Amino acid sequence: MKVLITGGTGYIGSHVVVELLEQGHEVEIIDNLINSKITVLDQIEKITGKKPTFHQVDLLDQPALEEVLTNTHFDLVMHFAGLKSVAESVEQPLKYYSNNITGTINLLSVMQKTEVYNFIFSSSATVYGDQGTGECVETMPTGTGITNPYGKTKYMIEEILKDLAVANPNFNIVALRYFNPIGNHSSGLIGEDPNGIPNNLMPYIMKVAKGELKELSIFGNDYDTDDGTCLRDFIHVVDLAKGHLAAINGLKPGFTTYNLGTGMPTSVLQMVNAFEKISGKSLPHKFAERRPGDLAILYANPSKAKTELNWQTELTVEDAIKDTLTFLAQPQNNP
Ligand code: NAD
Ligand code: UFG
């Protein structure tokens, strides 16, 4: 297939590009490089032996987008491009609504105009809000109790996709609801290395392990869980990437959602302990106040993806930590 990947130089997109190239698909990438580096293309080539065509285009620039989709006819678009910082979205909601929602509407408008109807969207477990039990099933209602504008953009985009699939029955749309992606390709050549102080657990742990940050604060140890810290469904990004290839088989008329998660919750403290054990070094950490907006427990029921897409995770949290250590050992990540 000829596949267009928006956000393809980013953390998750680059891993999906690798899997697609390795399965023989043709890939072109659109990214404005606001949160990724052009050198990712060389790393993808080192892993796969192929360098995807790259277009430095902003999704807010509809004419530029239209040029890319007019010059090449794509069979499928996978849409990863978006801003994703929960904290920044609270401070700058308009930036998030504009980039994520207008960007998606521009992309879908151009797809409709150029008659490209297969679409896979990077959604998030955040659309479930607070369901009470912590286990998320696709049949649950979405959209209530979402505590930040970033999460709301994911919910709103899902609603837009639902409406579009009704209005134009040519569209085959899948929204993949990711749980907590961690780790990187086993080569260590691509991975996540955000600038500044990270919001997310694994990038923060990585900065502490590198000595760039003093210690990890574990937000809350008085939750109603075995060790008092929050439980999350950490999924290896390579498993997540493979879920996208499986989702191609799930494309059918209308709008369909799948959870991509392991189904097995791990606590924040278990993650820290596993990191210390595998790295053989202590990871400075302390317990701190709960972080506003955090849910105690959030994990996927992954049955639908297993039954309908024949996909399930194969890698463990320990594999993700080992691969993270390989990434951290790369010379470019240790200047
Ligand atoms: P990322 O920031 O590494 O990748 C996103 C890419 O999109 C970046 O390369 C960025 O430069 C690009 N981009 C942003 N706005 C753009 C625009 N207007 N035009 C063109 N390019 C643009 O993030 P990621 O972790 O790889 O996430 C990919 C997708 O998955 C995002 O939509 C994110 O919201 C979603 N998601 C991520 C997580 C997670 O924990 N990482 C969880 C759930 C959902
Ligand atoms: N945590 C810490 N210390 C840190 C960072 C995180 O203790 O420095 C804890 C959090 O309190 C939480 C857990 O680690 O209990 C996971 O936090 P993350 O920020 O890594 O992930 P979240 O589960 O909060 O959010 C992630 C993505 C969102 C997505 C959401 C859906 O970042 O994009 O999952 O569940 F919407």
3-state helix, strand, coil in the chain (%, to 5): 40, 20, 40
Is 150 known to be catalytic? yes
Domain ranges of the chain: 2-184+235-261
pLDDT, residue 335, reads: 58
Architecture of the 2-184+235-261 domain: 3-Layer(aba) Sandwich (3.40)
Task: Name the DSSP letter for residue 296.
Answer: S
Out of 11, 96, 128, 150, the active site residue is: 150
Show the tokens assigned to 116: 């490209």
Task: Give me the tens of pLDDT residue by residue for the chain, a chain 335 residues long.
Answer: 999 999 999 999 999 999 999 999 999 999 999 999 999 999 999 999 999 999 999 999 999 999 999 999 999 999 999 999 999 999 999 999 999 999 999 999 999 999 999 999 999 999 999 888 899 999 999 999 999 999 999 999 999 999 999 999 999 999 999 999 999 999 999 999 877 889 999 999 999 999 999 999 999 999 999 999 999 999 999 999 999 999 999 999 999 999 999 999 999 999 999 999 999 999 999 999 999 989 999 999 999 999 999 999 999 999 999 999 999 999 878 65
Q: Give the closest ligand to the alpha carbon of residue 127.
A: 2
Alpha-carbon torsion 127, 128, 134, 139, what sign? negative
Using an 8 Å Cβ cutoff, are 9 and 40 in contact?
yes
Task: State the amino acid at position 242 in one-letter form.
Answer: K
> How many whole angstroms from 301 Cα to the centroid of ligand 2?
18
Q: Of ligand 2's atoms, which has the minimum distance to the CA of residue 219?
A: 7
Question: What are the b/e assignments for 49-67, b being 16+ CB within 10 Å?
Answer: eeebebbebbbeebebbbe
pLDDT, residue 142, reads: 97
Q: Give the closest ligand to the alpha carbon of residue 106.
A: 1
Pocket of ligand 2 (CB under 6 A): 84, 124-126, 151, 180, 199-201, 204, 216-219, 230, 232, 268, 291, 294, 298
Q: Of ligand 1's atoms, which has the minimum distance to the CA of residue 192?
A: 3
This prediction's pTM: 0.98
